């Protein structure tokens, strides 16, 4: 639903609720009771749900993730001009949606993956505004990166299933699929954000 | 003054008025949070806007139930 529609819905709900609040005697009539029910129950529930849905969509956006200052370097790392950097290569070549780049790779593709990500987000906010903010290079994942997040897109793809590096050893593919051999382990796709060395990198300049 | 009729707002109507004010306040917080894309806006929506609207709706429903039980 477009934001303008949600804002209109919310404003209408607020205005009608305000009317009922200041002209509360209208609720003495049958029509007034119906108006009160719409103004104080139906419309607020609809507006709140639409707003919640919009906020959930926004929380998946790259802009949302990078809106905290500490994430700036991680955002810059998406523009490193080196295809061996996995996030940069995915971002620059549209292998992930650019407006959802962080969420696509950093949400767990499990039943409660989104909820877990939101809970982590609340903790990040706490650290950002109440706690001690670490240096960007000191930020680590909660758990080792799970291949499941890569396989969400790559599983079944020809260049994954038949790629020479993946089928070099007979059991390599099964080790990758069972998460026993990490995709980002040493010697494979090991360059990820690497924000500590950003000052030495060159950056891709996207044409406007 | 003696002899002057005092028109008091019935209790149920006062409760509805309070409920509407809570709902309006909650909706305004929710609307304001939609104007910016930032994690704090999301938290304000969830921790401030939603509870205000929720308490307002529950107050309204309780007002209806109480007025019903009093035979209004």
- Chain A positions touching B57 (Cβ under 8 A) are 40-41, 44-45
Nearest C-alpha neighbor of A60 from the set A99, A86, A113: A99
What is the structure's pLDDT at A110?
82
Cβ contact A208:A176 at 8 Å: no
pLDDT surpasses 70 at B71:
no
Residue B3 lies in a domain: no
What is the structure's pLDDT at A31?
92
Low-confidence ranges of chain A (pLDDT < 50): none
Residues A41 and A73 in one domain: no
Band of pLDDT at residue B72, cut at 50, 70 and 90: low
Tell me the nearest-neighbour CA distance from A9 into chain B, angstroms.
10
Residues A78 and A115 in one domain: yes
Tell me the nearest-neighbour CA distance from A71 into chain B, angstroms.
13
Share of chain B above pLDDT 70, in %: 82
Residue A63 lies in a domain: no
Residues A50 and A87 in one domain: no
Q: Is A58 close to B20, i.e. CB distance below 8 A?
A: no
* A48-61 b/e (C-beta count within 10 Å ≥ 16 → b): bebbbebbeebbbb
Longest dimension (CA), chain A: 80
Q: Which residue of A has its CA nearest to B61?
A: A41
Reported as a single tens digit per residue, the pLDDT across A101-150 is: 999 998 888 888 888 888 888 888 888 888 888 888 888 888 889 999 99
Question: H helices of A23-85, where?
Answer: 30-37, 43-58, 62-65, 72-76
Residue B65 lies in a domain: yes
Selecting from B17, B41, B57 the residue whose C-beta is nearest the C-beta of A44 gives B57
| A131 burial level (CB within 10 Å; 0-12, 13-18, 19+) | exposed
Residue B4 lies in a domain: no
Numbers of helices and strands, H then E, in chain B: 3, 0
Residues A118 and A43 in one domain: no
Q: Between A3-22 and A43-58, two packed helices, what is the crossing angle to 10 degrees? A: 150
Residue A84 lies in a domain: yes
What residues contact A204, with CB distance under 8 A and at least 6 apart? A79, A80, A81, A88, A92
Quote the CA–CA distance of B59 and B23 in Å, as a whole number.
10
Tell me the nearest-neighbour CA distance from A146 into chain B, angstroms.
25
Residues A48 and A99 in one domain: no
DSSP 8-state assignment for residue A202:
-
Selecting from A47, A58, A122 the residue whose C-beta is nearest the C-beta of B30 gives A47
Residue A64 lies in a domain: no
Tell me the nearest-neighbour CA distance from B5 into chain A, angstroms.
18
- Tokens linked to A148: 């499941």
Number of domains in chain A: 2
Residues A89 and A190 in one domain: yes
Chain B positions with Cβ closer than 8 Å to A: 9, 13-14, 16-17, 19-21, 23-24, 26-28, 30-31, 33-34, 37-43, 45-46, 49-50, 53, 56-57, 60-61
- At A98, is the secondary structure helix, strand, or coil? helix
Cβ contact A183:A189 at 8 Å: yes
Residue A9 lies in a domain: yes
Number of domains in chain B: 1
pLDDT surpasses 70 at B8:
no
Residues A106 and A87 in one domain: yes
How many CB atoms neighbour CB A190 within 10 A?
14
Residues A83 and A151 in one domain: yes
Mean pLDDT of chain B: 87
- At A80, is the secondary structure helix, strand, or coil? strand
Quote the CA–CA distance of A20 and A27 in Å, as a whole number.
8
Residues A145 and A47 in one domain: no
Quote the CA–CA distance of A31 and A147 in Å, as a whole number.
59
Residue B2 lies in a domain: no
Residue A165 lies in a domain: yes
Quote the CA–CA distance of A63 and B36 in Å, as a whole number.
11
What is the structure's pLDDT at B68?
66
Residue B28 lies in a domain: yes
Distance from the Cα of residue A72 to its chain's centroid: 15
What is the structure's pLDDT at B46?
93
What residues contact A12, with CB distance under 8 A and at least 6 apart? A43
pLDDT surpasses 90 at B30:
yes
Least confident piece of the model among A10-19, A160-169, B24-33, B47-56: A160-169
Residues A148 and A80 in one domain: yes
Residue B1 lies in a domain: no
Residues A89 and A10 in one domain: no
Residue A135 lies in a domain: yes
Residues A112 and A176 in one domain: yes
Cβ contact B16:B67 at 8 Å: no
Domain range for B17 is: 11-69
Stretch B38-52: mean pLDDT: 94
What is the structure's pLDDT at A140?
87
Domain range for A122 is: 69-200
Least confident piece of the model among A15-19, A166-170, B2-6, B18-22: B2-6
């Amino acid at each position: 639903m477009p934001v303008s529609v949600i804002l209109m819905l919310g404003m209408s709900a607020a205005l009608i609720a305000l009317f009922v609040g200041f002209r509360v005697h209208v609720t003495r009539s049958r029509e007034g009771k119906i108006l009160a029910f719409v103004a104080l129950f139906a419309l607020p529930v609809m507006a709140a749900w639409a707003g919640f849905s919009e906020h959930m969509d926004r929380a998946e956006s790259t802009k949302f993730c990078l809106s905290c200052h500490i994430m700036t370097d991680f955002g810059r790392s998406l523009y490193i001009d080196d295809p061996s950097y996995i996030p940069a290569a995915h971002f620059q070549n549209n292998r992930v949606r650019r407006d959802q780049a962080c969420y696509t790779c950093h949400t767990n593709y499990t039943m409660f993956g989104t909820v877990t990500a939101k809970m982590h987000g609340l903790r990040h906010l706490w650290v950002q505004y109440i706690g001690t903010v670490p240096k960007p290079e000191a930020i680590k994942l909660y758990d080792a990166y799970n291949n499941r997040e890569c396989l969400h897109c790559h599983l079944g793809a020809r260049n994954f299933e038949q790629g020479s590096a993946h089928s070099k050893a007979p059991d390599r593919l099964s080790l990758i699929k069972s998460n026993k051999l990490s995709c980002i382990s040493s010697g494979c796709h090991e360059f990820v954000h690497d924000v500590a060395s950003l000052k030495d990198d060159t950056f891709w300049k996207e044409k406007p | 003054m003696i002899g002057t009729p005092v028109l008091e707002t019935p209790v149920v109507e006062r409760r509805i008025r309070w409920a509407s004010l809570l709902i309006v306040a909650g909706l305004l917080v929710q609307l304001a949070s939609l104007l910016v894309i930032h994690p704090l806006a999301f938290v304000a929506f969830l921790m401030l806007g939603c509870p205000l609207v929720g308490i307002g709706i529950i107050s309204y429903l309780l007002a209806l139930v109480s007025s019903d039980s009093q035979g209004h």
